[in-house]
Chains A and B, each alone.
Chain A
Amino acid sequence: MRAGSNRIDVTVTDVVVVNELVKRFHFERTHGGILPTFSGGAHVVVEMRDEGKTRLNPYSLMSSPLDTRDYTISVRRDDAGRGGSLFMHREVKPGQRMVISNPVNLFSLDLRAKKHLMIAGGIGITPFMAQTAQLAGRGGNFELHYACRNDALATYADVLTARYDRRIHLYRDDHGEKLDLEKLLSTQPLGTYLYVCGPAGMIKWVRATAAEAGWPDETVHFEHFAAPQPGKPFDVRLAVSEVDIRVGEHESLLEAIEAAGLNPPYLCRGGVCGQCETNVISYDGKFLHNDHWLSEEDHRSGCKIMPCVSRFEGKSLTLER
């Protein structure tokens, strides 16, 4: 059975400009009926047909899991990225038909928690929109700390504050407001679970501070989809299917493999779920590993690669695909 193959035909019902960087997209089933129920923290993979190229980007569902008449996602425009967010911002209009995957959750709540402590940075707020809705519906104990650049970019801070009042704490850079993380972490009751979603630097800071403060690894959950980075083109031999491919500058290795007609399994397309792990048969050059799945030992060994986010520079690379 292949993961990631369960697709849903949807129609874009609304596109809302949230602020100068963020647009919100609403999807309903093209053929009517409610969309699958999901759990807070889940994402869908959105298929984009961009001038003969297919992009598959994961976005967190931010609508309430309690109401699945439509799904909503929010996309932050990344002018330096590979073009997925630009495509969403420029090309996707109401009435357009698209294909999305079934929801998959790689950032789920630990329902054993006596308290859920959430820390968001920037567009990392989106999974918490769904998680807070899920928890609030059942009287769950949560508290959200949200860091952003300024009021204009405090995406959904108004909505969250209106819904949850004092459970939402906002920190605006331009007001010099700063999250005192050490203090926050020192006053949480036993049985609290910590969730963080935001830029890589923030995730690193929160994890390191929590570890230093004696929070066991099991209690710290983080969502970090590494978006595939552009890079120099490279050539790859797919030994099993006996095909040679070229990975373009703005293309991931996984996308290039798919473009050659292969269907390796995937869930996250962001280097965390492990589904597309691929064995290296031989290589002459250097790997640019960008995933969070393989161990450092795996990275050093030169025996494995995560084609969704990692690249290669050098003379030759042969993969078991």
Chain B
Amino acid sequence: MYSVIHGIVLAVACLVVIVPLGYLIINSIKLPREFLTIPPTILPTEVTFEHYQDLIDDKKTVRYFQNSLTVSVWTTGVTILTGTLAAYGLARMRLSAKILALVTFIFLFIRFYPRVTTVIPFFLVMRQLDLLDTVWAIIIGQLGITIPFVTWLMLVVFQDLPSEIEEAAIVDGASVWQRFSRVVLPIVMPSVSAAAILTAFLSWNEFLIASSVARRKASVLSIAVASFVSDKGIQWGPMAAMSVVMIVPMIVFALFAQKYLIRGITFGAVKG
């Protein structure tokens, strides 16, 4: 009985996710005249791949794709590396609670300050560093958001870790780096995977920073998606096609990271 309800609940949840996404895919292969029909067109009378063809034919799409990929890979890589290390450092430094709270607080303050009001000064900083219209400007801007998040997330995880786990390694004379990489990291791998997934998603879709410091060579996919909304209406078909194109790499990444998430869980279970 329980497993039946369990199954039904999960099926409903999956439907709530899949139906809108399926509709997005259908929209990407619909003819323009079938977008606003009453009732809505669920099965298009004619399937068209023109929206995808247009995207592929446009050289700019390829460049946006490369830029988005560069930004996401760097942002995720640097964030996970520095954020996890920083969290471990903060957790093991035996700082007084007040100082620890203060450092975390500064990080979070920077994380949550409305970016809208720092767009112009950030633009000036990037101009000073001669980084305008480069992917580095976007990456640096995004790191200001992602590193504090990952640091805090991992800080909570490290603090919850029983100290006995490391004691044996300390007694064996392992260095901090060895303790971190060989003992602690495998155990917290599920959380690291989750943080990496979240960071990659955020970076891939981030719009405001990208649009304010990179509008020409370094433009990215999220800006391209927004550009289908103009002052006189929405180009539904191309927008849907672009959204689908944007989703695919992230699904691949999520599957990949999930594998690590699982491995981390099983490893943790063996260890624990």
Q: Do A and B come together as binding partners?
A: no
A residues touching B (Cβ–Cβ < 8 Å)?
Answer: none
